[in-house]
Amino acid sequence: MRSLTLIITALLGVVSANPIETRQEPSYVGYLVSTFSDALPQVHFYLSNGNSATSFSLRNKGKPILASTVGTKGVRDIFLATNTARSEYYLLGTDLDINAFGFSWDIATRRGSRGIVVWKSTDLVQWSSPSLRIIEEDTAGMAWAPSAVWDDATSQYYVFWSSRLYSSSDAGHTGTASLDRIRYATTRDFATFSAPQDYAAEPDTPLIDQEFLRTGADSFTRFLKNETVNQVYQENGTGGLFGSWTRVPGYLRPESPLEGPAAFADNTTPGRYYVWLDNYTQYVPFETSDLQNPSWSAAGTSGFPTGLKHGSVTPLTQKEYDAIAAAYPV
């Protein structure tokens, strides 16, 4: 009896000393791409061919799965957020319809939508009606490219987006705005949000389209678009979302324009990562096997769909994969 107690105590000691190594990672069987198209700015789902990270098919018989009925009624830059328990899912999108009559980028960035479009689900199949959630202050010109990261320590999401800010004395937003920067707020339910704050801003560079890649329980790499050169760069992080960041020199790719990074880990090969970059027509996929000192090279495109736009890629458990395959046939 005594020795059994000692063994259990020793085992518990080992477990609590190494919480990360003993954490059970879910096993993933495929990937979901949540995206939109320029012609139909609504939510489109693509499902991978098993665990292939390059071969995908458009689901729901080629039709979007959700359409916005709020705000501009167009939705772009789709991001799927979930928590560690995977007990809830939120689809987020920019509230922007560039096909609308009279559309202009100038108006869209001075007096554009300060809200994001949100749908909620507990199973990836039954979705709430869309809500337009105003996340920005009235000094902001727009709220673009939302993404979110679940934080276990505080049981909430950190939501990020891009905006430019006008002087509080310029109610009509007719003057010169600040440079585009990354903003953030926290939320537990995507219904109420903390007051927005700056997250990443540069004195000489407009920044948009930030996306994180989680590389550990609280470690991240992030990708940002420099809008002066229309190229995407990488920063290695230490110390979590609010830790310190080291620029990987240069840009992911020499080509321009590229934007809207979607980053994810390979489900089966440890250490292999992908970034998809939108060349204003469609996503082009890149990969590396050394995320810390990467050289992003072209990934295979066998089975890679044409016309994929700024979206997100989510690894799926068997239950999630099966639910999507059944609810949204090819």
81 alpha carbon, distance to own chain's centre: 7
Measured CA angle at 124 (ends 318, 131), to 5 deg: 160
Count of C-beta atoms within a 10 Å radius of residue 24 = 5
Q: What are phi and psi of 61, to 5 degrees?
A: 50, 35
Q: How far apart are CA 210 and CA 156, in angstroms?
A: 19
Q: How far apart are CA 79 and CA 310, in angstroms?
A: 9
Between 118 and 232, CB nearer to ligand NAG: 232
Measured CA angle at 241 (ends 179, 250), to 5 deg: 55
- Nearest approach in angstroms of CB 302 to ligand NAG is 13
- Nearest approach in angstroms of CB 262 to ligand NAG is 15
Whole-Å CA distances, 89 to 1, 84, 131, 249, 250: 47, 11, 14, 35, 35
Between 66 and 284, CB nearer to ligand NAG: 284
Which tokens is 100 given?
């609308």
Between 71 and 237, CB nearer to ligand NAG: 237
Q: How far apart are CA 128 and CA 320, in angstroms?
A: 18
DSSP-derived letter for residue 20 is: H
- Nearest approach in angstroms of CB 214 to ligand NAG is 15
Q: How far apart are CA 153 and CA 240, in angstroms?
A: 11
Between 18 and 292, CB nearer to ligand NAG: 292
4, containing H or E segment: helix 2-17
- Nearest approach in angstroms of CB 72 to ligand NAG is 25
DSSP-derived letter for residue 326 is: H
Between 54 and 205, CB nearer to ligand NAG: 205
Between 99 and 238, CB nearer to ligand NAG: 238
Between 22 and 246, CB nearer to ligand NAG: 246
Closest CA to 146 of 132, 161, 135: 161
- Nearest approach in angstroms of CB 21 to ligand NAG is 19
Q: Which residue is nearest to ligand NAG (CB)?
A: 236
Beta carbons of 118 and 92 less than 8 angstroms apart:
yes
Q: Length of the chain, please?
A: 330
- Nearest approach in angstroms of CB 252 to ligand NAG is 12
- Nearest approach in angstroms of CB 63 to ligand NAG is 24
- Nearest approach in angstroms of CB 299 to ligand NAG is 11
Between 80 and 284, CB nearer to ligand NAG: 284
Give the interface with ligand NAG as residue ranges (CB under 6 A): 202, 204-205, 226, 228-229, 233, 236, 238, 246, 248, 279-282, 284, 292-293
